[in-house]
Chains A and B, each alone.
Chain A
Amino acid sequence: MVRAAVLSGVFLAIYASWQLTRWGGAAHKTLIGDLFFMPINVAAVVAALLAARRCRAEPRARRSWQLLALALAFYLLGDVVQTYYEVVARAKPYPSLGDVGYLAFYPVALAALLRLPVTRRSPRERVTLGLDCALVALSGAVPIWYVSLGPTLAAGGQGEVAMTVSLAYPLGDMVLLVGVAALLFRGAPAGMRGALALVGVGLVGFVVTDVVYGWVTLHGTYAGGDLVDAGWMFALAFFMLAATAQPVAEAPRAPRPIAVSRRRVSWLPYIGLAANVALIVQAQRNIGATMLVVYVAVVVLVALVSVRQLVVQSELLVAQRALREAQADRALLLDRTISRGEEERVRIATELHDGPVQRLAALGYLLERSARLTRRGDGGGLMLVDEALGELGGEIEGLRRLMADLRPPVLDESGLENALRDHLATVFRQTDVKVELVGRLGAERLPPDTETVLYRVAQEALLNAAQHASAGKVCVQLERTGSSVVLSIEDDGIGFTHEQARARLRDGHFGVVGMRERIELGGGSWHLDSTPGRGTRITAMLPELSAAPESLEPCSDLIELGVSA
């Protein structure tokens, strides 16, 4: 690749020196100018064939390079024939066999581009891709029409065949633009990107040169070796470089499942639009002031709509990123919720194993012993019964604690506010943290689900405040606004940044996301304000979840039956 680049650089430099100084004399201009094309064109064909060989493992890429080689070979044929006419026969038949070669280049090159391997796409992506391609191709086609196709058609004065061939060139350019657009938007497999970028540059150069050539022939005369040739020379050099840049292709991997891919904002459609608008202004510069204002207004409108579109698109991208983050959080949380449920079961099972079951088994052995002693008339048996009773009391107490731990009875018995007051006191019992509960509910009861959700959120928030905030004061507020209940937990601790919160989440701390999730699942809203050094405030607003369905009228028959049975 590097050697090819150096060689073609040297070759182009020699060609440039010829274009500038015309060494070899003006008499041989066409001969020298035409002959310059042969080596670079042959090199491009050979390089493309070699690239095809390197792509044996990837049939689509191989076919694509073979087609490009064929297109370049057609172009070479055109050149050879053209040179023969210009230099040897000294005649300029138009159209000639040379045009057949040149014209065959366009469809074959397009076929080469369309054969390129692509990544799989969802139907929706294909629609967007089609729109983007159409936009770019059309915005490229309009200048072609304006500069060469339209004027050629308008000029007339040629025979039918000659006219058809004259129109075929700009049409071929339009076709190539479709290929370039497809190349730009379809994306390429990782290994081919460099090569395809060079092909793209070559194609654009080719089309631009064609357009300039069309303009030149309409407004003057062209002869082989003119400066315009430099454009095609440049394009051929890039085709050759592209082919040498093709690495040995790997076998195509199994198609990836279709996923929503990240879309970049593409500027190309807007640039195309701008170019066409510029064309209109350029074409209409001589009209009267009245229409000019209209045109300028239309141009400004188009520009504004485009800008607006871009802004919306970038907003969408931001929203897309936020959505992806939220989805990832949710997936992590779901995972965590499941494993947490399991962990909780393990904890309870372990507590039951190590606690009540052992104690009761030991108690059983004690009572058995007491029975044995009593049967033998040993008074010690009765003492053992007393011991057993003491142990039984302790065991019941232990079970009660486990039960309360699973579900605080105060929440069911005397409501959220009292439960929160108890909990607040428990969490900060042996600390210097000042705690305050501002409750406006009193003993008022909320639907059980509402109470549970808010209690768990407060539990989590207070745990965070106690463990991480280094707070001096914690304030919990609970009040009702309309049909919602608002709970806020505020501390004057060290606070944290969004990044810190996300880092903690990645480390497996789900407290914050868990709170938000609980509230949002309950149809409420959740806000977290935290500034490093200025504490944290968590506000949860929950609409009163619907209470248990109204109990049905008791069916007296059934009750009577129950009683009588």
Chain B
Amino acid sequence: MNQQVEDEEASSAKPGVRVLVVDDDQQVASRLRELLTDFNHTVVGLASNSIQALVLIKTLRPEVVLTDLRMPGMGGLQLAAEVMRVADPPALIVVSAYDDPSLREAARRAGAYAYVVKGTPGVQIHDAVVAAAAAQSAR
């Protein structure tokens, strides 16, 4: 337990990542924002659909986008493909209710950096965000 506390505090000390959260479920979106804020990241915005997300990506320039997979209208996979066309695109992490190998593969092919199942411990989401930001700046 102590080890974990130290880990969290250590990571909190690092400079945060600028994140955009995309989810049609507002409660999930705001809980993710709280979680990421606790880990010292900056949630630059919440989008409830992919169109809104694309606008915010261009205006707010987040380093990482956390997106749901199943949303009304344009889904997360399509959003990932669209994001990859943006100049200097952010890294994209899919956060999905489905734990499905072929969806993981589809997300990877669409250009997503990581695939996280909804309900995984927050620290793993934090790790993924940090790794994605590092990969994005290395590009």
Interface residues of A (CB under 8 A from B): 353-354, 357-362, 364-366, 368-369, 372, 375
Q: Are B35 and A359 in contact (CB under 8 A)?
A: no
Q: Which of B85-139 contact A (CB under 8 A)?
A: 97-98, 118-119, 121-122
A369 — which chain B residues lie within 8 A by C-beta? 31, 34-35, 38, 122
Question: Closest approach, in angstroms, between the C-beta of A378 and any C-beta of chain B?
Answer: 11
Q: Give the chain B neighbours of A357 by CB distance below 8 A.
A: 97, 118-119
Q: Contact partner of B35 among A353, A365, A375, CB < 8 A? A: A365
Instruction: Tell me if B27 is interfacial: C-beta within 8 Å of chain A.
Output: yes
List the A side residues contacting B38 at CB < 8 Å.
369, 372
Q: Is B5 an interface residue (CB 8 A)?
A: yes
Contact (Cβ within 8 A) B31 A362: yes
Q: A353-B70, A369-B34 are in contact. List 5 more A-B contacts (CB 8 A).
A: A353-B97, A358-B25, A365-B122, A366-B31, A372-B38
Within the complex, the shortest CB–CB distance from B90 to chain A, in Å, comes to 22
28 contacts between A and B (CB under 8 A): A353-B98, A354-B25, A357-B97, A357-B118, A357-B119, A358-B25, A358-B27, A358-B97, A359-B27, A361-B28, A361-B97, A361-B118, A361-B119, A362-B31, A365-B28, A365-B32, A365-B122, A366-B31, A368-B35, A368-B121, A368-B122, A369-B31, A369-B34, A369-B35, A369-B38, A369-B122, A372-B8, A372-B38
How far, in Å, is A435 (CB) from chain B's closest CB? 37
Secondary structure call for the A interface: helix
Interface residues of B (CB under 8 A from A): 1, 5, 8, 25, 27-28, 31-32, 34-35, 38, 70, 97-98, 118-119, 121-122
B40 to chain A, nearest CB (A): 12
Q: Which residues on B sit within 8 Å (CB–CB) of A359? A: 27
Residue of A nearest to B36 (CB): A365
Q: How far is the CA of A508 from the CA of B76 in the complex (A)?
A: 33
Q: How far, in whole Å, are A353 and B96 apart by their CA atoms in the complex?
A: 10
Bound form: Cα–Cα A358–B25 in Å? 7
CA–CA, A364 to B116, complex, Å?
14
Which chain B residue lies CB-closest to A360? B119
A383 to B25: give the CA distance in the assembly, Å. Answer: 23
What does DSSP make chain B's interface, helix, strand, loop or mixed?
helix
Nearest B-chain residue to A352, judged by Cβ:
B97
Q: Complex: how many Å from CA A359 to CA B27? A: 8
Residue with the highest number of chain A CB atoms closer than 10 Å, among B8, B31, B34, B38: B31
Contact (Cβ within 8 A) B25 A362 = yes
Residue pair A358, B118 in contact (C-beta under 8 Å): yes
A375 to B9 alpha-carbon distance, docked (Å): 11
Question: Complex Cα distance A354/B1, Å?
Answer: 33
Inside 8 A of A362's CB, which chain B residues have their CB? Answer: 25, 27-28, 31
Residues of chain B within 8 A of A366, CB atoms compared = 31
- Min Cβ gap A193→B in Å is 57
Q: Which residues of B contact A360 (CB under 8 A)?
A: 119
Chain A residues, CB < 8 A from B35: 365, 368-369
Q: Once bound together, how far apart are the Cα atoms of A368 and B8, in whole Å?
A: 12
Cα A366 to Cα B31 in complex, Å, equals 7
Residues of chain B with a CB closer than 8 A to A365's CB: 28, 31-32, 34-35, 122
The docked-state distance in angstroms from the alpha carbon of A364 to that of B35 is 11
- What's the Cα separation between A357 and B100 when bound, in Å? 15
A366 to B28, CA, bound (A): 10
Shortest beta-carbon distance from B72 to chain A in Å: 10
Residues in A with CB closer than 8 Å to B121 are 368
Q: Which residues of the other chain, A, contact B1 by a CB distance below 8 angstroms?
A: 375
Q: Which of A359, A364, A365, A368 has its CB near the most chain B CB atoms (within 10 A)?
A: A365
Instruction: Give chain B residues whose Cβ lies under 8 Å from the Cβ of A354.
Output: 25
Q: Which residue of A lies closest to B30 (CB)?
A: A362
How far is A325 from B35 in the complex, measured between Cα atoms in Å? 62
**Which chain A residue has the least Cβ–Cβ distance from B28?**
A362
The CA-CA distance from A360 to B27 in the complex, in Å, is 11
- Measured CB to CB, the closest approach of chain B to A543, in angstroms, equals 46
A368 — which chain B residues lie within 8 A by C-beta? 35, 121-122
Closest to A376 in B: B5
Q: Which residue of B lies closest to A355 (CB)?
A: B25
How far is B122's CA from A354's CA once the two chains are assembled, in angstroms? Answer: 20
Which chain A residues lie closer than 8 Å to B28 at the CB level?
358, 361-362, 365
**Residue on B with the closest CB to A384?**
B34
Q: Which residues of A contact B34 (CB under 8 A)?
A: 365, 369
Looking at A354, A357, A375, which has the most chain B CB atoms within 10 Å of its CB?
A357
- Which chain A residue has the least Cβ–Cβ distance from B123? A368
The closest CB in chain B to the CB of A366 belongs to B31
Residue of A with least CB distance to B33: A365
**B37 nearest in chain A by CB position:** A369
- Report A-chain residues with C-beta under 8 Å of the C-beta of B25: 354, 358, 362
Query: Given the complex of chains A and B, what is the CA–CA distance between A325 and B118 in angstroms?
Result: 51
